[in-house]
Amino acid sequence: MQYISNNLCFGRFIQTYGTHIIVGIAIGGQDLICVRQNSSSTIPTSELRGYMEDLGDVMFSYGKSPSLIQRKSRDGKQKVPNIFNRILQSSTMQLASIAETSSVQHIE
């Protein structure tokens, strides 16, 4: 929205459309996860890409995909690096629990 110096116009805009807080954006139907790999990392880029795809499947499938935390490799070790386990167990993934609304709410 452009800067509005006219308070009457701004007031009318707020009254008509309300105020909004954006808590998430989906672009073109795709959710994005971005990771910066440390230069000292020993994980090959292709393997990291696979972890990212699996992480995306878990985070954005809304409970339809098995948890990465429970997956193990053939030798019984965790299948994913520890950082992904911390992401999956942390409280930072709370956007899915926020109720969506399309109604305009006014504060008077």
Is 97 a residue whose pLDDT tops 50? Answer: no
- Examine residue 57 and state whether it is found in any structural domain, yes or no: yes
The answer to whether residue 74 is domain-embedded is yes
Structural domains of the chain, count: 1
Question: Would you state the structure tokens that stand for residue 23, as one six-digit string?
Answer: 């808590």
CA nearest to 24, candidates 70, 73, 59: 59
Containing domain of residue 46, as a range? 28-91
Residue 98 lies in a domain: no
Residue 21 falls inside a structural domain: no
Residue 96 lies in a domain: no
Kindly state whether residue 51 falls inside one of the protein's structural domains. yes
Q: For residue 84, is it within any domain?
A: yes
pLDDT tens digit sequence for 31-55: 666 667 777 878 787 877 777 777 7
Assigned domain for 103 exists: no
Q: Are 45 and 37 in contact (CB under 8 A)?
A: yes
Q: Identify whether the C-beta of residue 59 lies closer than 8 Å to the C-beta of residue 93.
A: yes
The three state secondary structure string of 22-85 is: CCCCCECCECCCCCCCCCCCCCCHHHHHHHHHHHHHHHHCCCCCCCHHHCECCCCCECCCHHHH
- Interval 100-107 mean pLDDT: 44
Asked whether the predicted pLDDT for residue 92 surpasses 70, the reply is no
